[in-house]
Amino acid sequence: MKTTLGRRTRVLAATTATAGLVLVAGCTSSDGGGSGSKTAAGGVELVKAGRLTTCTHLPYPPFQSEIDGKVQGFDVSLVDLVAKNLGVQQAIVDQPFENFKTGGSLNAGQCDLAAAGMTITAERKKNVDFSDPYFEATQAVLVDKKSGISSFAALKGKKVGAQAQTTGEDYAKSKGLDPVSFDSSDAVLNGLRTGQVQAVVIDYPVVRGWLKDKANAAAFQVAEQINTGEQYGFTVKKGNTKLREAINKAISDAKSDGTYKKLYEKWIGPYDQSAASASPAA
């Protein structure tokens, strides 16, 4: 994954994706995330009292996007679980991807964590601490059905699109392609729709979300799905061990009690056990 929508920062309301889950305003005890305290349950220090502030980049369905004026998606729902355990509400800040990929937003105290369908890489680990992996990701080649393109190998000499600063773009470049860079996933799809490119390389779950739309399914098809060994993780400021552990616990609990499966089926599609079998990040 992933990159930038715009240079502005927006704070948006988050809504839970789990039926019956109520966002908690916070406890009144000094160490329980009360409205006047920046210390949440478990001694987790937050940048704003009563809030678990999440930096993300919109849109990136099915992980996070605005639906009916609220930010929803798989990532949002998982972080809601973290916020509930901490006794606070989740607040989402929309920023350019590079702001938190480099750790800048975290270091500046603009957010507590970043959740953006972000692939765990050695390079990114230099700037941020990752949670345990919560999703196994693959790349996909999406093409117009009339293109005649049937595989990644067939992209040589073709106009290929990718989202800027993403692992999909990196993969295409590593295989000798010179992809056209688009600023958002929406722009990637529009580039394919308008003929600016003949194919796109992007995370498969995003493609699967696009193809739920009947018009997209009628026009486009997956030429190849590529297992690149990618895993998604949430990020925190380097050294923020307590919040990282709180995130890991929420992920582990969700996988154990069936919540992860329910959220996966709601946002991603038919449950793939391998998506939840990622081993902890090194």
What Rg, from alpha-carbon coordinates, does the chain have?
19
My answer on whether 26 and 80 are in the same domain is yes
Pick the range with the lowest mean pLDDT from 20-29, 79-88, 94-103, 240-249: 20-29
Predicted TM-score (pTM) of the model is: 0.74
Q: If residue 100 lies in a helix (H) or strand (E), which one and from where to where?
A: helix 97-101
In a domain, residue 282? The reply is no
In a domain, residue 83? The reply is yes
My answer on whether 51 and 182 are in the same domain is no
Domain boundaries, position 248: 10-134+233-272
> Residue 204 maps to which CATH number?
3.40.190.10
My answer on whether 154 and 205 are in the same domain is yes
In a domain, residue 61? The reply is yes
My answer on whether 117 and 250 are in the same domain is yes
In a domain, residue 5? The reply is no
Q: What is the pLDDT of residue 205?
A: 85
My answer on whether 166 and 181 are in the same domain is yes
Q: What is the pLDDT of residue 14?
A: 52
My answer on whether 85 and 171 are in the same domain is no
pLDDT tens by residue, 71-127: 999 999 999 999 999 999 999 999 888 787 788 999 999 999 999 888 899 999 999
In a domain, residue 2? The reply is no
Residue 271 CB neighbours (<10 A) = 14
Q: What is the pLDDT of residue 275?
A: 57
What is the average pLDDT across 215-222? 96
Quickly state the pLDDT bin for 60 (edges 50, 70, 90): confident
Structure tokens at 264: 């996966």
My answer on whether 24 and 54 are in the same domain is yes
Share of the chain above pLDDT 90, in %: 65
Q: E strands of 107-237, at which residues?
A: 113-114, 129-130, 135-144, 160-163, 180-182, 199-203, 220-232, 235-236
Share of the chain above pLDDT 70, in %: 83
In a domain, residue 147? The reply is yes
My answer on whether 183 and 254 are in the same domain is no
My answer on whether 151 and 46 are in the same domain is no
My answer on whether 130 and 198 are in the same domain is no
Pick the range with the lowest mean pLDDT from 14-28, 119-133, 153-167, 236-250: 14-28
My answer on whether 26 and 78 are in the same domain is yes
My answer on whether 145 and 102 are in the same domain is no
Compute CA distances 96 → 2, 4, 7, whole Å: 10, 4, 6
In a domain, residue 279? The reply is no
Counted domains in the chain: 2
Q: What is the pLDDT of residue 166?
A: 84
User: What average pLDDT is seen over the chain?
Assistant: 85
Residue 208 CB neighbours (<10 A) = 17
| Cα(73)–Cα(96) distance, integer angstroms | 18
